[in-house]
Amino acid sequence: MLPKLHLMFQVEIIDSVPMSHNTLLSALPAQAVVREVGLRDGLQSIATVLPTERKCAWIADAFAAGQREIEVGSFVPPRLLPQLADTAEVLAFAKTLPGLTASVLVPNLKGAERALDGDADLMILPLSASHAHSLANLRKTPDDVVDEMRRIRAARDASGKQTLIEGGVGTAFGCTIQGEVKHSEVLRLMQALLDAGADRVSLADTVGYADPVAVSRLFEQALKIAGDRFCCGHFHDTRGLALANVFAALQLGVARFDASLAGIGGCPHAPGASGNAASEDLAEVPAARGVDTGIDLPALLALRQKVVGWLAGEPTSGTLWRAGLPKTMAAVAA
């Protein structure tokens, strides 16, 4: 019985520490955004082509469940990603929802021009910090992508549109082709994107190599470089660490995270890689610590069930749907 008593004693001590003295939680933001990327990162990695009406129904339900930022697709050539060929139509629908920030991924200037035509609220230019991954994925070096950012910024400014530009530095924690990616190279490229005209930047663990300590170290440096212009963390759950990584970034005050409903997705260049952290699971992490996400979790869980039904046979993940919300949280919500 002694070990148990000892444990109880420890719990009591921890509980008695005032919140303001608890450095682990001191930088938690008051609010956090769960940016839905399942319609892009998720759907691009699976064989099923979801009809446009269902994508729009997904967006409408996600909006009704409180999600206010959704990546609706990608302006890549349809022959490369037939799953996302209807991005312009889906974006047009998303733009009808008041207060929704509709973003699209753009691989180059051509894609950016389509995003500007469609009045996207935000376009994200991905840059792979891994030289080898960049060549395999985009057929460009990372510094070529920085040049493309410069052209995209000039096009945006000339268009007079309000579309924001985000530079997303991917393979920030390593990659399946090259292996190690140095933090110094990630940070150099992040600074280069800002200098080339990105309104904001984000970091992505494209293949799921990060762990919470690596996240703390790299994100701390990134925040020093980009300050308020650092906007988002993007974690894949390949090794089951996505939510732990989210929490590590949340502790530094990072307040926006990409997530894919039901954890749909993977990476074409990372065999066996899992999708993003599941949106419904990720939303519970800040909520459990009192950080407001604006998300109605039961509604998001109902949407999960609907979308999983549409994607029969495709791999999905996530844990919250199995057990439901913890009773402690249900009490807080009521």
Q: Which of 56, 175, 232, 267 is catalytic?
A: 267
Q: Smallest distance from the beta carbon of 234 to Zn ion, in angstroms?
A: 6
As a 3-state breakdown, the chain gives helix, strand, coil percent values, each rounded to 5, of 50, 15, 35
Taking the least distance from each CB to Zn ion, the nearer of 116 and 168 is 168
Distance CA 190, CA 184 (A): 10
Task: List the one residue out of 111, 113, 195 whose CA is nearest residue 155.
Answer: 113
CA atoms within 13 A on the CB side of 310: 21
Taking the least distance from each CB to Zn ion, the nearer of 156 and 236 is 236
Give residue 260's identity as a one-letter amino acid code. Answer: S
> Does 41 participate in binding Zn ion (rule CB under 5 A)?
yes
State the binding string over 195-214 for Zn ion (x if CB under 5 A, else -).
Answer: --------------------
CA atoms within 13 A on the CB side of 149: 29
**Site residue total, Zn ion (CB under 5 A):** 1
Q: Smallest distance from the beta carbon of 71 to Zn ion, in angstroms?
A: 10
Only one of the segments 9-17, 41-49, 54-62, 108-116 lies at the binding site for Zn ion (rule: CB under 5 A); that segment is: 41-49
DSSP strands (E only) in 146-296: 164-170, 200-205, 230-235, 256-259
Distance CA 251, CA 309 (A): 35
Restricted to residues 147-166, the positions that interact with Zn ion (CB under 5 A) are none
Taking the least distance from each CB to Zn ion, the nearer of 205 and 284 is 205
> Does 71 participate in binding Zn ion (rule CB under 5 A)?
no
Are 311 and 275 in contact, with CB atoms under 8 Å apart?
Answer: no
Q: Smallest distance from the beta carbon of 53 to Zn ion, in angstroms?
A: 25
Our answer to whether residue 56 is catalytic in this structure is no
Only one of the segments 39-47, 148-156, 176-184, 243-251 lies at the binding site for Zn ion (rule: CB under 5 A); that segment is: 39-47
- Please name every residue paired with 201 in a beta bridge, in sequence order, or none if there are none: 167, 230
Tokens of 82: 């037939």
Taking the least distance from each CB to Zn ion, the nearer of 70 and 116 is 70
Taking the least distance from each CB to Zn ion, the nearer of 142 and 325 is 142
Q: Smallest distance from the beta carbon of 245 to Zn ion, in angstroms?
A: 13
Residues ≥6 apart with Cβ < 8 Å to 183? 217, 218, 221
> Does 237 participate in binding Zn ion (rule CB under 5 A)?
no
CA 305 to chain centre: 21
> Does 281 participate in binding Zn ion (rule CB under 5 A)?
no
Residue nearest to Zn ion according to CB distances in the complex: 41
| Rg of the Cα atoms in the chain | 20
Taking the least distance from each CB to Zn ion, the nearer of 46 and 325 is 46
Distance CA 136, CA 177 (A): 9
Are 278 and 300 in contact, with CB atoms under 8 Å apart?
Answer: no
Only one of the segments 22-30, 38-46, 57-65, 179-187 lies at the binding site for Zn ion (rule: CB under 5 A); that segment is: 38-46
Only one of the segments 8-16, 35-43, 89-97, 292-300 lies at the binding site for Zn ion (rule: CB under 5 A); that segment is: 35-43
SS3 at position 71: strand
Q: Smallest distance from the beta carbon of 9 to Zn ion, in angstroms?
A: 44
Report, as residue numbers or ranges, the catalytic residues. Answer: 267
Q: Which residues bind Zn ion (CB under 5 A)?
A: 41
